[in-house]
Amino acid sequence: MAALLVLAAIPAVLAATAPAFAPAGLGPQFQSGNYTGASNGTLKNGPVVPGVAFDRFIQIWFENTDFAVANSSSVFQALAKQGILATNYVAVTHPSEPNYAAVVGGDFWGMGDDNLHYIPSNISTIADLLDQKNISWGSYQENMPYDGYPDYNYTQPNYLNSSAPPYTYYVRKHNPLILYDNIANVPARAERIRNFNDFAVDLGNNTLPQWSFITPNLVDDAHDTTVDFAGDFISYWLLPLLNNTNFNTNRTLIVLTFDENETYGEENFVWALFFGGAVPQSLWGTQDNTFYSHYSSLSSVEANWGLGNLGRGDVNKTMSNVYDFLLSAGINYTNVAVPNPPLTNLTTTIPGPENPTLYVPFLAPVNASGLGAGGGPTYIAPGTNLSLTAANAPAPVNLTALGEALPGSTPETTSTGSSSPSASPSGSGSASSAASVRIGAATLLMGVAAAIAFCL
């Protein structure tokens, strides 16, 4: 009888995981108590560094949606009329977290899960390349409780339904910069990983960085909801910003896309749009069939500002074509035709330092100096072992079969943390930094339902 009561309750809880859209605040320019953490003040940036085709680059990612599904949304269709729709753009793997790791680090390191990963400090990211040219960068994470928050997730009162149990709106796996220790463990860098209250303040003070990555929360990005829910968020939050010159100028390029598709058995095509003031109006409503991947976001930024490269996926010519319209804007680069795109829907089958069954240590970057889209040298982070390369890498090892743990990783899946930065761990980010809080029966039931409904 008790089991029947539990089963009877699950549909009601499941229904609560897909509510009707409601805004978290009054608009993108206003702070909101629903974001839990107040802004820590205005972001401080240096002078604007001009690029060839754009001076500001903004990425906004949504979740787990097939191209056709996104393209069927009236909101996404309307938005496509204001930019260039990429019809041959792929995510680089499954599930979510490795795609986020890849878009800033140029590799997903064999990762095939959404576990708690700490990528060591001698592994570089786009932030290192931008810093070399004094180009400001940052990230805005909806519902992250405070800047540089390190924990696995954050659960808070449910602003969509105050009578429902607390809800996990923020997850670390969708926050690409925090995955890398050379950002997360450097306070001045971690403070650039900010929340939406910070966004409101930075927007109002015209201090948004030149490079930014924006992640809506788990309902607004369609992860726990639908593409129509994401469309409502776009209408509420993004569309008003397109007319705000503190966000969108004639030198702003915005890329809106998805981390991965929903159907793992198909090639990993995702909906991607290039828009913003840097896209010539003559190209609005057009389509681009060039083969792109998430690595194209790296190569396009490198090309625009004449940066170096990471020696990773950003120098893989097949996977890193520069956005084609930029070539007409003065960027000197030659894209390659890819008539037979590689499969990017594989998971857990790629060896790497974040794969416990095919473990290979972190390898030195490919020496691609001058071969990246920006023409600059390959960035080598301090502490990199240049003698350990792809040419002499050891054979993959099954750590799981040996009973050994994957270094710098833990399969933590239920953690909540403090909304106060005073409770932030002071160490290098160990598995214990995500403090587990065991919750009551009502929240546990929500977790059971969520486990059924979520697609990781």
Q: Which residues are catalytic?
A: 224
DSSP class per residue in 34-74: GG-S----PPP-------SS-SEEEEEEE-S--HHHHHT-H
C-alpha 145/C-alpha 422 separation (Å) is 12
In this structure, which amino acid lies at residue 96? S
Calculate the alpha carbon distances from 371 to 264, 312, 314, 337, 374 in Å: 33, 11, 10, 17, 8
CA distance linking residue 386 with residue 185, whole number of Å: 23
- Phi, psi for 149 (deg, rounded to 5): -55, 125
- Residue 372's SS3 state is coil
At 86, which helix (H) or strand (E)? strand 83-86
Dig out the tokens for 21 from the structure: 């859209």
| CA pair distance 293, 300, nearest whole angstrom | 11
171 three-class SS: strand
Query: Roughly how many angstroms between the first and final C-alpha of the chain, as a whole number?
Result: 32
* Residue reference for tokens 């030195």: 364
Question: Which residues have C-beta within 8 Å of that of residue 375, sequence separation ≥ 6?
Answer: 306
**Dist CA 380 CA 329 (whole Å):** 30
Output the CA torsion sign for 83, 85, 91, 97: positive
Q: How far apart are CA 145 and CA 170, in angstroms?
A: 8
d(CA 234, CA 374): 32
What are the tokens at 96?
A: 């979510």
Count of CB atoms situated within 10 Å of the CB of 44: 10
Structure token digits, residue 60 = 């906004």
Helix (H, G, I), strand (E, B) or coil at 426: coil
Q: Is 445 exposed, middle or buried (0-12, 13-18, 19+ CB in 10 A)?
A: middle
List the structure tokens of 207.
């201090």
Distance CA 84, CA 76 (A): 12
